[in-house]
Amino acid sequence: MHSFLKKLIVKSILRPAKGQNYEDSFFTPYQIAKGLRIFRVTIFAGLKDTLLICLGVLSAAFGLKGFLLTNHFIDGGATGISLLVSALSGIPVGLLILLVNIPFLLFGLRILGPQFAIKSAIAILLLSLTVHFISFPDVTKDNLLVSVFGGFFLGAGIGLSIRGGGVLDGTEVLAIAISRKSGLTIGDVIILINVIIFSAAAYFLSVEIAMYSLLAYLSASKTLDFIIEGIEEYTGVTIISVHNDKVRSMIVNVLGRGVTVYRGKRGIGKSGDVKDMDIVYTVITRLEINKLNTELEKIDPNAFVVMSSIKDTKGGMIKRTGVQH
C-alpha cells in the first residue's frame, strides 16, 4: 500500500491515540485493511450522493424553467410557495427558493442532524443558482403537457436529491417537527400545507392555474414515490406451514429467492397445544406473488401466510439466482 494512502487512512479512519504521531502509531495489517475498506466505502458513498444531488438539481431546474415558470404554474411545498410569491411579486424565483427554505433547513439541523442539513443546504443553494443563472428552452406551451412533464422532472429531481441524502423542498422537515408537537401525522401536515398553497393560488392567480398546478403536484408526487421506492416494490412474506422444509426448498429452487428460517410456536389457542416449528420468511417482488401462492397451494393449502409491503431492501439474496427447471 502506498505510504501516503496508508497515512491518510490512519489519520482519517483509524486515528492514532491522542498526542501520538502517525510515525509512532502501530496498527495491524487487518486494521489497515479494514480502514481501507471503510475509506473506500466513504469515498464511494460521497461521490454517489454528490452525483445524485447534482442530477436532482438539474432535473428540478429543468422542470421549473422549462415548463412550470413559463405558464406561472406552481407546485406544492416550499417550491410552490416560492413560485406563487414570484408570480405575484416579480421577485426572482431562484432567490425565493433559497429564502423560503432557510427556516426548514434550521428545523432540519435541529431534528435530523448537521449532515442532513449541510447536504440539503448545498442542494438548495445549487438549485437556486441553477434556476437563476442557467437558461432552459421552453419545451411546450400546452398546459396539460406543462403540468404533467413539469411535475415529472421536478419530482424526479426531488427524489434523486433525497436518494443523495438531502432535500430540495424542506416542507417535510417542517411536517416532522409539527407532527412531533401535535397529534397530526406527517402526511396530514403536508396535505394541510398544500391545501393552503393551492387555495392561495386559486384566489390570487386563477382557478384554472390552481387546477393545472394541482395536476403538476400530483405528477411530481407520483414520480417522487417512484424514484424513492423503486420499480420492484418488494413484499415481505412470512409462511407458517407444517411442510416448512418443502416451502423453503420451493422458494430457493423455484422462485430463486433467499429465505430466512427462525424458530417459532404454533397452536396457541383454546386447545392449549403448543408445537415448535420453523417459520419461513422471504422477500419477493409483487410480480412473483401469484407464482408463490400457486406453488404454496401445491405444497400446503392450509399454510398461514402474512404479506407486508417493504419500501426498500439492502444486502442478502434479494436478486434472483439461478433456478431449476
Q: What is the pTM of this model?
A: 0.75
In angstroms, the Cα distances linking 107 to 101, 120, 221 are: 10, 12, 22
Q: 3-class SS at 177? A: helix
- pLDDT tens per residue across span 259-273: 999 888 776 656 666
**What pLDDT was estimated at residue 5?**
62
- Mind listing the domains of the chain with CATH numbers? 46-229 (no CATH), 234-309 (3.30.70.120)
Torsional sign, CA 110, 114, 116, 119 = positive
- pLDDT tens per residue across span 49-96: 999 999 999 999 999 999 998 888 988 889 999 999 998 998 999 999
**What pLDDT was estimated at residue 24?**
45
Q: 3-class SS at 283? A: strand
Is the model's pLDDT at 102 over the cut of 60? yes
